C-alpha cells in the first residue's frame, strides 16, 4: 500500500546530480555537466561490463581493453583537454573537468580513469611548457575522430619514471640521457635519446612519448623533456607489461627507447649559447607544472571510490537476512538487516563522511587551479615583458611583492564595509598579487588532496570492504569494492608517492602567505560556527588554532637534546604536521560545500524538495568529520609538542617531588595547597624516601600552558559530535536507495 | 523527399527505471515518493522515436527535428545533458509536471499549444513522432489525442519501421499480434507515428552535437512556458506498482538439465 508522505527532516534519497553540481560549483557549466554524463555512461556501461567480465584478471593489454578508447573518444573524454580552436569543446581551464572525469570513471574503475587521462598527462608537458608550434602540432593530431570518421588519433604516454635507482625515488635523478648525434653546419641539431621507462601508462598504444632526460653531452645544458615518436629512427620498444595487481584496465609497460630526434622536439624549445644547447625548461620545471595539476585528478579517484561504496553497502546491509524462512517481510530484521546494529551504521557514516571531505577537498583544489591557470599565464606574460627570466629573478620579484600580497590577504579577511575598498580593488586587480596569494594555497592543496584522499581513502576503503563481510573480498562484491581498495593503494603511490607529497607540504605549508590565509580561515570557521554550530566548524577552528600554535612552537623549539625540531631532515616532525593539516583542510572544504548547498539549493526545485533533510544529514557528516579531524590533529600535535621532551625519571634533574614538610610550610602562605598539589604533582609519602611509590614521576608543562589549555578546549569542542553520528546513522536506515546498482557486478 | 520533413518528437521524462518508485498522496494529488529528487531519463519509448527521427532527418536533407517535452524544466535540463549528445534537435520545452498521474487530454492540449507555437513549422512536412507506450503510466492515448487536435488522421501505433518510398510515400510497419507486423503505406506527411522500439540502436555519443544543441536548449529552457497540467475530474480508485513475482528455491548441486526442465515447465504454466 502506498504510504502517506512523511515530512521527516532526514535524508530522503542519495544526493543526486543537482546537489553535487551546486556543492562542487558547476551548476552553471552545462558543458561540464554534459561531459560528466557522457563519462558516466561509459563508466557504468562498457567499463563496468569489462570489469564484471573479469578483464582485470590480467595485466596484459587486450583487445577488449583497447576497445574502451573508442568509447572514451565518443564520450569526449580523450578530447577533453583540447582547446576549442583544435576541435575541443570546452573553453578555459580544465582542472575541475579532469577531476570530474576521473571521479566518474573511478566510481567504477580507476584503471579506466587512468587510461582515459593518460593521453592528457602525456600532452600536459607540451600544453604547459611547449612552444606554440608544438602545442598546435600535437593537439591537432590528438583530436579524436568524429562519429563515422575513420581516422586514428595520436595517443601519448608520459615517460618520467625509470627503473630503480633513478626516478621514482627522486625525480631529480634521471637515468635517461640525451646527446647530440649530429649537428650539421647551420642546421638543426639531431639528438640521440636513450631512455628506459618503468610503469609507463598507455605504452601499448602510444604513438608518442614525452620523456624526461638528462644531458650526457657538454653541448647540452641540464635536463629537459623531449617528444619521442614511434616512427623516429632507432628503437621504440614498448617493453614488457608491468606485472601490476591494480588498475588493470590501463596499459602499463616498461619501455626502452634509443632514438634520434630533432632538437625541435625539446619541449618548450631551446637557445644556443656558445655552442651549447640550453633548453628553455628543465625536466623539473616541466613536471612541476604538470604534476601540480594532474595529481589532483588522482585524489578525485579515491574520493569517488568512497562515495561509490555507500549504496552497495547499504543494500547489502539491508538485504543481509532476506531469503531465510524465519525472516519475514515487514520484520525489522527483513527491512533493515545489519542496519539494526549501530556499529555497522557508524562505520558507514565514517566512510561517507570521509568521502564527502575527500571530494570537497579535491574539487576545491581543482577549482583553485582553474583560477590559477589564467593568472599564471598572465604572470608569465608580465614577467617576460619586464625582462624577468629564470627562477631566481622571479623569486626576487615576488619577494618585493610580498608586502602587497600580505596586505591583500589581510583586507580579504575584513568585512567589505570596514575595509579600504579602493586599496582592496587595486590589489585584487594586480595579477601578480593575486597569483601569489592563490599559488600559495595551490601549493598546499594539490599535495594535500593527493596525500589525504589516497592515503586515508585507502584505509577507509578497507573499512568499506569489512562492512561487506567475506563478500567484500570477492570478485562478485557489488561495486567492485575489493578492486577499488587495492587501486587506492596505487593511487597513493603514483604521480609522486606519499613521502613526496608530505615533503612538499612541509615546505609550502610554512609559507607566510599561506599561513596568513590559514589564520583567516580560522576566523571564517568561528563565524560559521556562530551561525551553524552543527557543522562542527567550532571544533575545527580550535583544531586549526592548535595546529598553527604547534607549527610555530616546533619551528622554534628544540628536543631534549637541543636539536632543532622543524627542519627538512626531521620528517618525524614535518611529515606528521603535514598529515595533520590535510585533515583540517578536508574538513574545512566539506563544511564550505554544505554551506554552498544551503545557500543555493532552494533555487533549484530538484534540490529544494528534500533540501532540509539533505542539509541536516550532510551537516551531521561535517560534524562527524570535523570531530575526527580534530581528534587526529590533537593527537599528532600532542605527540609532537610533548614527545620530544625527555620523560622525567626519579632523578634530581627532571623530577622535583614535594616533601610533606615543604607542603606544610607552604600551607602558611597558601592554605589548602597540600591537598591541591596532591592531584597534580608528585609528593613523597615519607621524608627520606627516594620517590613516591607509583608508576613514574609526573610530567610538568612549564611553557606549554597554552597548548594544554587548547587541548582541554579541543576535547570540550567535541561536544555533540557523537550525537551527530547517531543522527546520521539513523538517516542511513531511512534513506531511499535505488532498486539495484546502475552498473553490473 | 528533397525538401525534408519537420519531425516533431513528443517525449516526456520518467524516473530512472532503477529507482525505487513508491506512489504517495501529495497535497496536489498522487505522485511518487521523492519524485523531484529522483534522477530522470527520457521516456524510453519516446527516446526510440527520437533516434528514428534523427536517423530519418539525416537521410532526408532539409529535415529538422523538434523535441517537444512537457516536464519540470529543472529536471528536463538534467536529462538534456545526456540526450542532447545523441541527436541534433531543437528543444521546445513546456514547464509542467512529468508525473504519470496527469490526464492524457490535458497533456495533449499543452503539447498542442507548444507545437502550434513553433515558428515556421510546415504542416505539410509534419511527422508527429512519440512513444506508443510510456514508462510512467502508459495510457497510450496522448499521442492519438494530439494527432486529432492537429487534425492528422493518418495515425500508426506500435511502429517499428518507417521507410520513405521513392514517390515520397511512407511505408510503415506496425506491431500486431504474434510478433508480426502490419504493413501500411500512406502518401506522406502529415502523419502520426507512435513508435515501439524501432530497429535502431542508441546512436553513439557525440559531444559536438551536444554542444551545438545546448546553445539553443539552454535559452529555450529559460523561456519555457508553464502549463498547468493535472487530472481534473479524474478519480484514482487505487494506485499500485506492477507486482513482481519471485519464486526462489535454494537447491544444492542441481543438474543443468534438471534446471532447464523446470524452467520450461514454469514457462508452459
Give residue A102's pLDDT.
97
SS3 A224: strand
Closest residue on chain A to B87 (Cα): A147
Give residue A664's pLDDT.
74
**Could you tell me the pLDDT band of residue B226, with boundaries at 50, 70 and 90?**
very high
The whole-angstrom separation of Cα A540 and Cα A360 is: 16
Give the mean model confidence (pLDDT) for residues B104-117.
96
Give residue B244's pLDDT.
65
**Could you tell me the pLDDT band of residue A696, with boundaries at 50, 70 and 90?**
low
Say if B212 is an interface residue toward chain A (CB within 8 Å). no
B239: chain A residues, CB-CB within 8 Å? 2
Residue B24 lies in a domain: yes
Say if B36 is an interface residue toward chain A (CB within 8 Å). yes
Q: Are B158 and B194 in contact (CB under 8 A)?
A: yes
Say if B170 is an interface residue toward chain A (CB within 8 Å). no
* Of the partner residues B33, B74, B210, the one whose CB lies closest to the CB of residue A605: B74
Give residue A622's pLDDT.
98
**Could you tell me the pLDDT band of residue A182, with boundaries at 50, 70 and 90?**
very high
The CATH code of the domain that includes B216 is: 3.40.50.620
Which domains are seen in chain A, by residue range?
A: 344-645+709-734 (1.20.140.10)
Count of structural domains within chain B = 1
A13: chain B residues, CB-CB within 8 Å? 34, 37-38
Percentages helix, strand, coil for chain B, rounded to the nearest 5? 30, 25, 45
Q: Which segment of A169-173, A740-744, B265-269 scores lowest on mean pLDDT?
A: A169-173
Say if B29 is an interface residue toward chain A (CB within 8 Å). no
Burial classification of residue B178, based on how many CB atoms lie within 10 Å of its CB (0-12 exposed, 13-18 middle, 19 or more buried): exposed
The whole-angstrom separation of Cα B95 and Cα B228 is: 9
Read off φ and ψ for residue A658, nearest 5 degrees: -75, 150
State yes or no: cis peptide before A165, omega within 30 of 0: yes
The whole-angstrom separation of Cα A612 and Cα A9 is: 6
Give residue A1's pLDDT.
38
> What is the percent of chain A where pLDDT is above 70?
93
Q: Is the pLDDT of residue A655 over 90?
A: no
A327: chain B residues, CB-CB within 8 Å? none
B164 grid coordinates = 520513405
Interface of A with B (CB under 8 A): 1-5, 12-13, 16-18, 30-31, 33-38, 41, 74-76, 79, 89, 146-147, 323, 604-610, 736-742
CA distance B20 to chain A (A): 5
DSSP-derived secondary structure letter, A217 = S
B75: chain A residues, CB-CB within 8 Å? 606
CB contact under 8 A, B18 and A739: yes
A329: chain B residues, CB-CB within 8 Å? none
Q: Are A263 and A217 in contact (CB under 8 A)?
A: no
Give the mean model confidence (pLDDT) for residues A471-485.
92
CB contact under 8 A, B82 and A76: no
* Of the partner residues B37, B77, B207, the one whose CB lies closest to the CB of residue A610: B37
Beta pairing partners, B182: B174
Burial classification of residue B241, based on how many CB atoms lie within 10 Å of its CB (0-12 exposed, 13-18 middle, 19 or more buried): exposed
* Of the partner residues A146, A606, A737, the one whose CB lies closest to the CB of residue B37: A606
The whole-angstrom separation of Cα B24 and Cα B30 is: 6
A661 grid coordinates = 614538610
Give the mean model confidence (pLDDT) for residues B211-237.
91
The whole-angstrom separation of Cα A611 and Cα A603 is: 11
Q: Cell 513508491 appears where?
A: B22
DSSP symbols for A693-713: SSSSPPP--TT-HHHHHHHHH
- In the predicted model, what is the mean pLDDT of chain A? 92
In tens, the pLDDT along A327-363 reads 999 999 999 999 999 999 999 999 999 999 999 999 9
Give residue A6's pLDDT.
41
Angle at A745 between CA A363 and CA B260, to 5 degrees: 165
Residue B69 lies in a domain: yes
The whole-angstrom separation of Cα A716 and Cα A718 is: 5
Closest residue on chain B to A605 (Cα): B74
Among the listed residues A117, A91, A108, the one whose alpha carbon sits nearest the alpha carbon of residue A41: A108
In tens, the pLDDT along A367-400 reads 999 999 999 999 999 999 999 988 889 999 999 9
Q: Are A174 and A162 in contact (CB under 8 A)?
A: yes
Residue B57 lies in a domain: yes
CB contact under 8 A, A34 and B214: yes
Give residue B1's pLDDT.
47
A18: chain B residues, CB-CB within 8 Å? 74, 78
Give residue A51's pLDDT.
96
CA distance B114 to chain A (A): 23
In tens, the pLDDT along A496-539 reads 889 999 999 999 999 999 999 999 999 999 999 999 999 999 99
CB contact under 8 A, A31 and B211: yes
CA distance B38 to chain A (A): 8
A36 grid coordinates = 560528466
Q: Count CA within 13 A, CB hemisphere, residue A126.
A: 31
CA distance A318 to chain B (A): 14
CA distance A118 to chain B (A): 20
CB contact under 8 A, B22 and A2: yes
In tens, the pLDDT along A124-141 reads 999 999 999 999 999 999
Q: Is the pLDDT of residue B243 over 80?
A: no
Q: Are B156 and B171 in contact (CB under 8 A)?
A: no
Beta pairing partners, A31: none
Give the mean model confidence (pLDDT) for residues A678-700.
64
Say if B227 is an interface residue toward chain A (CB within 8 Å). no
In tens, the pLDDT along B20-34 reads 888 998 888 888 999
Burial classification of residue B33, based on how many CB atoms lie within 10 Å of its CB (0-12 exposed, 13-18 middle, 19 or more buried): buried
Q: Is the pLDDT of residue A605 over 70?
A: yes
Give the mean model confidence (pLDDT) for residues A277-282.
96
The total number of residues written for chain B in this structure? 269
Q: How far is CA B46 from CA B18, B38, B100, B122, B194, in A?
A: 18, 19, 15, 22, 8
In tens, the pLDDT along A212-228 reads 999 999 999 999 999 99
End-to-end alpha-carbon separation of chain B, Å?
51
Label the pairing between strands B64-71 and B6-10: parallel
A741: chain B residues, CB-CB within 8 Å? 18
Q: Is the pLDDT of residue A654 over 60?
A: no
Closest residue on chain B to A28 (Cα): B218
CB contact under 8 A, B38 and A2: no
Residue B159 lies in a domain: yes
Q: Is the pLDDT of residue A669 over 80?
A: no
Say if B186 is an interface residue toward chain A (CB within 8 Å). no
End-to-end alpha-carbon separation of chain A, Å?
32
ipTM metric: 0.89
* Of the partner residues A41, A608, A739, the one whose CB lies closest to the CB of residue B82: A41
**Which domain covers residue B110, as residue numbers?**
6-238
Label the pairing between strands A234-241 and A252-262: antiparallel
Burial classification of residue A190, based on how many CB atoms lie within 10 Å of its CB (0-12 exposed, 13-18 middle, 19 or more buried): middle
Count of CB contacts below 8 A, A vs B? 110
**Exposure string over B122-147, b if 16+ CB within 10 A, otherwise e:** eeebbbbbbbbbbbbeebeebbbbbb
Q: Are A486 and A245 in contact (CB under 8 A)?
A: yes
* Of the partner residues A79, A147, A741, the one whose CB lies closest to the CB of residue B204: A147
SS3 A201: strand
Q: Is the pLDDT of residue A7 over 60?
A: no
- HEC states along B147-177? HHHCCCCCEEEEEEEEEECCCCCEEEEEECH
Radius of gyration, CA atoms only, chain B: 20
* Of the partner residues A30, A75, A741, the one whose CB lies closest to the CB of residue B214: A30
Q: Cell 530522470 appears where?
A: B40
CB contact under 8 A, A38 and B205: yes
Give the mean model confidence (pLDDT) for residues A450-478.
94
Question: Most confidently modeled of A76-85, A645-654, A718-727?
Answer: A718-727
**Could you tell me the pLDDT band of residue A147, with boundaries at 50, 70 and 90?**
confident
CB contact under 8 A, A739 and B20: yes
Residue B262 lies in a domain: no
Q: Which residues contact A730 (CB under 8 A, 6 or more apart)?
A: A10, A345
Residue B268 lies in a domain: no
Neighbours of B266 (CB within 10 A): 9
Q: Count CA within 13 A, CB hemisphere, residue A453.
A: 37
Give residue A4's pLDDT.
41
Say if B59 is an interface residue toward chain A (CB within 8 Å). no
CB contact under 8 A, A76 and B18: no
**Could you tell me the pLDDT band of residue A289, with boundaries at 50, 70 and 90?**
confident
Give the mean model confidence (pLDDT) for residues B215-233.
92
Give the mean model confidence (pLDDT) for residues B133-145.
84
**Could you tell me the pLDDT band of residue A429, with boundaries at 50, 70 and 90?**
very high
B82: chain A residues, CB-CB within 8 Å? 34, 37-38, 41
B89 grid coordinates = 534537435
Q: Are A601 and A19 in contact (CB under 8 A)?
A: yes
**Could you tell me the pLDDT band of residue A476, with boundaries at 50, 70 and 90?**
confident
In tens, the pLDDT along B57-102 reads 999 999 999 999 999 999 999 999 999 999 999 999 999 999 888 8
SS3 B42: strand
Amino acid at each position: 500500500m502506498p504510504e502517506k508522505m512523511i515530512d521527516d527532516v532526514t535524508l530522503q534519497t542519495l544526493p543526486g546530480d543537482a546537489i553535487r553540481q551546486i556543492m562542487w560549483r558547476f551548476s552553471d557549466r552545462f558543458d561540464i555537466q554534459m561531459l560528466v554524463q557522457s563519462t558516466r555512461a561509459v563508466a557504468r556501461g562498457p567499463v563496468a561490463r569489462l570489469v564484471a567480465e573479469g578483464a582485470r584478471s590480467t595485466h596484459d593489454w587486450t583487445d577488449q581493453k583497447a576497445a574502451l578508447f573508442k568509447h572514451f573518444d565518443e564520450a569526449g573524454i580523450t578530447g577533453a583537454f583540447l582547446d576549442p580552436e583544435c576541435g575541443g569543446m570546452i573553453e578555459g581551464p580544465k582542472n575541475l573537468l579532469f577531476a570530474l572525469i576521473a571521479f566518474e570513471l573511478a566510481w567504477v574503475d580507476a584503471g579506466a580513469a587512468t587510461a582515459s587521462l593518460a593521453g592528457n598527462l602525456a600532452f600536459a608537458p607540451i600544453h604547459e611548457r611547449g612552444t606554440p608550434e608544438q602545442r598546435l602540432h600535437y593537439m591537432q593530431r590528438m583530436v579524436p575522430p568524429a562519429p563515422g570518421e575513420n581516422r586514428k588519433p595520436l595517443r601519448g604516454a608520459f615517460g618520467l619514471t625509470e627503473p630503480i635507482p633513478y626516478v621514482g625515488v627522486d625525480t631529480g635523478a634521471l637515468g635517461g640521457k640525451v646527446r647530440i648525434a649530429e649537428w650539421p653546419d647551420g642546421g638543426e641539431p639531431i639528438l640521440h635519446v636513450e631512455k628506459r621507462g618503468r610503469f609507463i601508462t598507455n605504452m601499448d598504444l602510444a604513438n608518442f612519448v614525452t620523456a624526461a632526460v638528462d644531458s650526457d653531452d657538454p653541448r647540452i645544458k641540464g635536463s629537459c623533456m623531449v617528444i619521442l615518436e614511434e616512427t623516429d629512427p632507432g628503437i621504440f620498444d614498448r617493453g614488457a607489461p608491468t606485472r601490476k595487481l591494480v588498475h588493470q584496465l590501463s596499459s602499463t609497460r616498461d619501455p626502452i627507447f634509443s632514438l634520434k630526434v630533432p632538437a625541435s622536439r625539446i619541449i618548450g624549445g631551446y637557445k644556443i649559447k656558445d655552442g651549447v644547447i640550453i633548453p628553455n625548461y628543465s625536466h623539473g620545471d616541466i613536471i612541476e607544472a604538470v604534476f601540480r595539476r594532474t595529481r589532483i585528478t588522482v585524489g578525485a579517484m579515491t574520493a569517488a571510490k568512497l562515495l561509490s561504496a555507500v549504496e552497495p553497502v547499504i543494500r547489502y546491509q539491508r538485504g543481509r537476512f532476506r531469503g531465510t524462512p524465519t525472516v519475514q517481510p515487514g520484520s525489522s530484521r527483513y527491512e533493515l538487516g545489519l542496519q539494526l546494529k549501530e556499529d555497522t551504521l557508524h562505520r558507514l557514516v565514517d566512510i561517507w563522511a570521509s568521502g564527502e571531505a575527500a571530494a570537497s577537498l579535491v574539487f576545491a583544489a581543482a577549482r583553485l587551479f582553474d583560477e590559477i591557470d589564467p593568472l599564471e599565464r598572465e604572470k608569465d606574460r608580465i614577467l617576460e615583458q619586464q625582462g624577468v627570466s629564470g627562477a631566481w629573478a622571479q623569486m626576487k620579484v615576488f619577494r618585493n611583492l610580498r608586502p602587497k600580497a600580505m596586505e591583500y590577504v589581510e583586507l580579504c579577511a575584513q568585512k567589505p564595509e570596514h575595509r579600504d575598498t579602493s586599496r582592496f580593488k587595486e590589489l585584487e586587480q594586480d595579477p601578480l598579487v593575486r597569483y601569489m596569494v592563490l599559488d600559495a594555497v595551490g601549493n598546499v592543496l594539490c599535495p594535500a588532496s593527493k596525500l589525504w584522499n589516497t592515503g586515508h581513502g585507502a584505509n577507509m576503503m578497507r573499512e568499506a570492504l569489512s562492512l561487506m563481510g567475506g563478500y567484500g573480498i570477492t570478485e562478485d562484491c557489488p561495486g567492485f569494492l575489493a578492486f577499488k581498495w587495492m587501486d587506492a593503494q596505487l593511487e597513493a603511490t603514483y604521480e609522486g608517492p606519499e613521502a613526496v607529497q608530505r615533503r612538499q607540504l612541509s615546505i609550502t605549508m610554512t609559507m607566510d602567505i599561506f599561513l596568513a590565509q590559514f589564520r583567516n580561515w580560522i576566523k571564517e570557521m568561528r563565524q560559521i560556527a556562530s551561525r551553524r554550530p552543527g557543522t562542527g566548524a567550532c571544533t575545527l577552528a580550535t583544531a586549526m588554532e592548535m595546529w598553527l600554535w604547534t607549527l610555530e612552537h616546533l619551528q622554534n623549539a628544540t628536543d631534549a637534546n637541543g636539536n632543532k625540531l622543524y627542519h627538512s631532515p626531521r620528517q618525524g616532525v614535518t611529515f606528521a604536521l603535514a598529515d595533520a593539516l590535510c585533515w583540517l583542510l578536508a574538513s574545512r572544504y566539506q563544511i564550505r560545500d554544505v554551506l554552498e548547498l544551503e545557500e543555493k539549493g532552494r533555487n533549484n526545485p530538484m534540490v529544494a524538495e528534500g533540501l532540509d533533510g539533505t542539509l541536516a544529514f550532510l551537516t551531521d557528516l561535517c560534524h562527524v568529520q570535523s570531530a575526527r579531524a580534530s581528534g587526529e590533529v590533537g593527537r599528532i600535535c600532542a605527540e609532537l609538542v610533548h614527545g620530544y621532551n625527555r620523560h622525567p625519571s626519579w632523578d634530581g634533574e627532571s623530577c622535583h617531588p614535594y616533601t610533606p614538610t615543604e607542603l606544610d610550610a607552604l600551607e602558611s602562605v597558601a592554605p589548602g595547597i597540600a591537598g591541591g598539589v596532591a592531584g597534580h604533582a608528585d609528593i613523597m609519602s615519607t621524608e627520606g624516601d627516594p620517590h613516591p611509590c607509583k608508576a613514574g614521576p609526573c610530567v610538568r608543562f612549564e611553557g606549554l600552558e597554552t597548548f594544554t589549555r587548547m587541548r582541554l578546549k579541543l576535547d570540550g569542542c567535541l561536544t555533540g559530535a557523537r550525537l551527530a553520528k547517531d543522527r546520521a546513522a539513523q538517516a542511513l536506515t531511512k534513506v531511499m536507495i535505488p532498486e539495484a546498482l546502475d552498473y553490473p557486478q | 523527399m528533397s525538401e525534408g520533413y519537420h519531425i516533431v518528437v513528443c517525449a516526456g521524462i520518467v524516473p530512472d527505471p532503477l529507482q525505487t518508485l513508491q506512489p504517495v498522496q501529495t497535497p496536489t494529488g498522487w505522485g511518487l515518493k521523492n519524485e523531484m529528487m529522483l534522477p530522470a531519463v527520457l521516456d524510453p519509448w519516446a527516446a526510440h522515436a527520437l533516434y528514428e527521427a534523427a536517423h530519418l532527418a539525416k537521410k532526408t536533407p532539409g529535415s529538422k527535428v523538434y523535441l517537444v517535452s512537457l516536464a519540470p524544466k529543472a529536471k528536463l535540463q538534467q536529462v538534456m545533458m545526456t540526450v542532447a549528445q545523441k541527436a541534433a534537435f531543437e528543444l521546445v520545452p513546456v514547464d509542467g509536471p512529468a508525473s504519470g498521474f496527469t490526464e492524457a487530454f490535458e497533456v495533449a492540449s499543452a503539447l498542442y499549444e507548444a507545437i502550434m507555437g513553433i515558428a515556421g513549422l510546415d504542416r505539410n512536412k509534419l511527422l508527429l513522432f512519440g512513444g506508443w507506450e510510456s514508462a510512467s503510466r502508459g495510457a497510450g492515448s496522448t499521442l492519438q489525442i494530439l494527432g486529432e487536435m492537429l487534425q492528422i488522421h493518418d495515425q500508426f501505433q506500435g511502429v517499428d519501421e518507417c521507410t520513405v518510398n521513392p514517390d515520397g510515400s511512407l511505408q510503415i510497419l506496425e506491431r500486431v499480434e504474434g510478433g508480426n507486423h502490419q504493413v501500411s503505406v500512406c502518401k506522406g506527411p502529415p502523419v502520426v507515428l507512435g513508435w515501439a522500439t524501432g530497429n535502431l540502436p542508441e546512436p553513439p555519443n557525440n559531444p559536438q552535437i551536444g554542444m551545438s544543441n545546448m546553445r539553443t536548449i539552454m535559452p529555450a529552457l529559460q523561456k519555457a512556458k508553464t502549463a498547468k497540467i493535472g487530472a481534473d475530474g479524474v478519480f484514482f480508485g487505487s494506485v499500485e506498482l506492477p507486482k513482481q513475482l519471485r519464486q526462489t528455491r535454494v537447491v544444492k548441486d542441481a543438474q543443468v538439465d534438471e534446471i532447464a526442465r523446470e524452467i520450461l515447465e514454469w514457462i508452459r504454466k
